[in-house]
């Protein structure tokens, strides 16, 4: 019995309609940007295994760091105890962040990093004796699948079954091309009307991933952050997808001079090889929880908070950024993406090409709805698998987000596959 057949007897996969889905592809090995399947076929990992992997699969420095830590200290309760990898990671990470970030809180993944951020913001105002229970979020946002993260994500088919359980959120337009004026107006109106009731504004800096890789105008987003700060509304930057070089800078928040109050990280935090979440905050946020009153304690934690092996992987990833000049690799990929964008920009079946760091996205002109459920997505997914490329289109949006180790030759191969798919749409 194959691994895929065994899987079908016992596994429930994410974002998958198990009744109609094809058998899963069994992967038995990965190295660099390439995956090896059980049947011997290879695939280029063009989406960094769901936006996580940075330096490539099986990077020797990562492997050695994980193995060494597992042999020394595999796990430890983090309430009342600490360990070297957690402290070392915080010491290495904080200097890379905006200068107002001074404390690190560990969790498990992107969704929980967002949950922590929201609870920090809500409890800050509770501890201060102020009733601030509203949140501002961007339309089309995605912040995760746990309940708090769902609540501040855009309402969609993903959240429909849980609508009655989610707290109310004030949604404003994202400052993308064509919506900037509306976005600024909606934010100003929200702040003017509800400012004293709003605990936080949460946003994906520069690019909304699940919404279709929508790139924002940094000046517009900066103005929205400034509007919030005039009313002491905390600004939460969700860097789960955008952090660690994805956008061409170490963090997407660097495109703005206004600094967030709270930041969320996961995915690329560990180089994409271990589950770990981090939420950082300012001294002001942290101070609100310091008290002789135990009820002002931040009562939040996870069994695997600050897992030593995951922290060691994150430390190793940051070391690779320095030793291999990783951001230079990102800049080279961005140049290749831009050259490819120039080649296809006049094709009538292509519109709204955008490039930001390692991210390339384009929309296929289609008569069907441009939603996540556009049937062209499934067609494109299977088409690229035939080419030996792992991609997961977002509706009619075809995008690349490869690990930074990908070769120029492999990128050119992916570009040729995209051009071939575009040609098929013209027939």
Mean pLDDT over the full length of the chain? 96
Specify the pLDDT at position 368.
66
Specify the pLDDT at position 366.
84
Question: Based on the number of CB atoms within 10 Å of its own CB, is 190 exposed (0-12), middle (13-18) or buried (19 or more)?
Answer: buried
Is 29 designated active site?
A: no
Q: pLDDT (tens digit, 9 = 90+) per residue, 199-224?
A: 999 999 999 999 999 999 999 999 99
What pTM was computed for the model? 0.96
Domains 3-55+325-425 and 62-322 share a fold: no
Specify the pLDDT at position 369.
62
Q: pLDDT above 90 covers what percent of the chain?
A: 95
**Is the pLDDT assigned to residue 427 strictly greater than 90?**
no
Q: One of 43, 106, 124, 142 is an active-site residue; which one?
A: 142
Q: One of 227, 238, 261, 410 is an active-site residue; which one?
A: 238
**Please, what CATH class does the domain formed by 3-55+325-425 belong to?**
alpha beta
Confidence of residue 157 (pLDDT cuts 50, 70, 90): confident
Is 171 designated active site?
A: no
**Is the pLDDT assigned to residue 370 strictly greater than 90?**
no
**Is the pLDDT assigned to residue 426 strictly greater than 90?**
no
Q: Which two tokens stand for residue 191?
A: 């702040």
Specify the pLDDT at position 173.
97
Is 192 designated active site?
A: no
**Phi, psi of 123, rounded to the nearest 5 degrees:** -75, -30
Q: pLDDT (tens digit, 9 = 90+) per residue, 313-358?
A: 999 999 999 999 999 999 999 999 999 999 999 999 999 999 999 9
Contact (CB, 8 A) for 306 and 106: yes
Contact (CB, 8 A) for 322 and 96: no
Gap between the Cα atoms of 329 and 337, Å rounded: 12
Please tell me the least confidently modeled range out of 39-43, 181-185, 232-236, 363-367: 363-367
Gap between the Cα atoms of 193 and 148, Å rounded: 23
Contact (CB, 8 A) for 213 and 221: no
Q: pLDDT (tens digit, 9 = 90+) per residue, 385-395?
A: 999 999 999 99
Specify the pLDDT at position 374.
83
Annotation: CATH topology of 62-322: 3.40.640
Confidence of residue 140 (pLDDT cuts 50, 70, 90): very high
Confidence of residue 371 (pLDDT cuts 50, 70, 90): low
What's the mean pLDDT in 370-378? 80
Is 106 designated active site?
A: no
> What are the extents of the domains in the chain?
3-55+325-425, 62-322
Q: One of 267, 372, 399, 410 is an active-site residue; which one?
A: 267
Q: How many residues does the chain have?
A: 427
């Amino acid at each position: 019995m194959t691994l895929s057949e065994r899987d079908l007897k016992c596994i429930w996969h994410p974002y998958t309609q198990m009744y109609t889905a094809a058998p899963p592809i069994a992967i038995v090995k990965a190295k660099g940007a390439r995956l090896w399947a059980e049947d011997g076929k290879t695939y280029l990992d063009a989406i960094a295994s769901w936006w996580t992997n940075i330096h490539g699969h099986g990077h020797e420095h990562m492997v050695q760091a994980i193995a060494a830590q597992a042999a020394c200290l595999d796990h430890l309760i983090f309430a009342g105890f600490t360990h070297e990898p957690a402290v070392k990671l915080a010491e290495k990470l904080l200097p890379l962040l905006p200068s107002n970030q001074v404390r690190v809180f560990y969790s498990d993944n992107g969704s929980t990093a967002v949950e922590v951020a929201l609870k920090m913001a809500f409890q800050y105002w509770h501890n201060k004796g102020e009733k601030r229970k509203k949140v501002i979020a961007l339309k089309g946002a995605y912040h995760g699948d746990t309940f708090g993260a769902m609540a501040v994500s855009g309402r969609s088919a993903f959240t429909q079954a849980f609508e009655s359980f989610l707290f109310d959120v004030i949604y404003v337009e994202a400052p993308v091309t064509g919506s900037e004026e509306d976005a600024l107006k909606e934010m100003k109106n929200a702040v003017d009307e509800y400012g004293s009731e709003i605990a936080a504004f949460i946003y994906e800096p520069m690019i909304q991933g699940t919404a279709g890789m929508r790139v924002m105008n940094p000046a517009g987003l900066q103005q929205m952050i400034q509007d919030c700060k005039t009313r002491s509304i905390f600004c939460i930057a969700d860097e789960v997808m955008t952090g660690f070089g994805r956008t061409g800078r170490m963090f997407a928040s660097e495109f703005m001079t206004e600094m967030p109050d709270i930041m969320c990280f996961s995915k690329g935090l560990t180089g994409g090889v271990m589950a770990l979440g981090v939420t950082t905050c300012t001294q002001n946020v942290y101070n609100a929880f310091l008290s002789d009153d135990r009820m002002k304690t931040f009562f939040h934690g996870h069994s695997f908070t600050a897992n030593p092996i995951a922290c060691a992987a994150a430390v190793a990833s940051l070391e690779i950024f320095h030793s291999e000049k990783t951001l230079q690799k990102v800049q080279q990929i961005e140049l290749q993406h831009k050259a490819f964008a120039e080649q296809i920009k006049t094709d009538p079946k292509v519109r709204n090409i955008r490039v930001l760091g390692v991210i390339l996205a384009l929309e296929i002109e289609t008569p069907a709805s441009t939603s996540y459920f556009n049937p062209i997505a499934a067609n494109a997914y299977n088409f690229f698998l035939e080419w030996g490329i792992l991609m997961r289109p977002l509706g009619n949006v075809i995008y690349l987000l490869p690990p930074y180790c990908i070769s120029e030759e492999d990128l050119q191969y992916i570009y040729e596959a995209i051009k071939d798919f575009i040609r098929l749409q013209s027939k």
